[in-house]
Structure 1
Amino acid sequence: MPFNYVVIGGGTAGMVVASRLSEDPNVTVLVIEAGADKSSDQAVLTPGLFSTQIGNPEYDWMFRSTRQPYLNDRVIAQPRGKQLGGSSAMNIMVMMYPSRDNIDGWGALGNEGWSFDELAPYYRKMATITPPGPNARDVAQVDKWHDPALDGDSGPLQIGWGKDYPDS
């Protein structure tokens, strides 16, 4: 069967790209992922078990850096997800956006179009954010580190806050 698009990699980015492309009913999209579908695996579903994936070739590509001269020539593990969902399936169910300074730094290096203000619409389009309740906002000090300028309300990724902070 011919496809209009082939997306290589079933991680978060690949799945968002495939989802957006497939919004056109006249388009066929194939996603190719080298890793298995572990979406029902307890090591993926249970945040406290994320460490069982790291260094396990069933879940992790087990990439390693080259020797790092400024770290006493150590070689550093670079865990990357070998599964549908990619590295996002290994991340303790945490979503972290880069800071405004980091994104603007990409543009300052000469990457035209890579500023916080230019990329913010794409971050908003990527996800639907369910904001935290007042108690979670206070306990987790959300306002110190979370920039709501990136919060979307219609993207395919559903991102929310834990229910461990009752608002009563």
Structure 2
Amino acid sequence: MEPRTSPVAGSQAGVMLLEALIAILVFSLGILSVVALQATTVQLTSDAKYRTDATLLANRLLGQMWTSSGNLTAMKTAFQTGGTAYNAWLADVSGRDGLPGVVAASTGVVSTLPTVAVTINPGAADDGQVVITLRWRTPEMPLNAAGHQHIVVSQVSRNP
């Protein structure tokens, strides 16, 4: 005598395999989402590091300005783009611990050199105003991209 199988059991053959495949698909999508989230987190963390470095470098230059002589004309000559103090600071910015991708326009790519401007308007509200603009490119950015920038505006003046 043959064992009898019910028509219901025959119609459900392979359902467990199908459920297992769907579960594996859902699990795989979850893992891929976590990996993508991790990659985004790493990129945002490195961007935050570059912004923090730019802030620290600008504050370092401002500190050098505050400790220099109180003469705004001498400070403008030394610290404005191309001055002796600016060039010394630029060597630090472009070094191993500086911002990545800092290059001059003479290399054929978009200039990312920091710029410093000192305003001298005796008696005016903007007398002794310093504007520091830092630019950088992250390693994954193309060479001709403008990159990121951080602008610091401060007032450097002495009490009379």
For the criterion TM > 0.5, the same-fold answer is no
- TM bucket, shorter chain: under 0.3
Instruction: Tell me the TM-score normalized by structure 2.
Output: 0.23
Higher helix share: 2
Instruction: Tell me the TM-score normalized by structure 1.
Output: 0.23
Higher CA-based Rg: 2
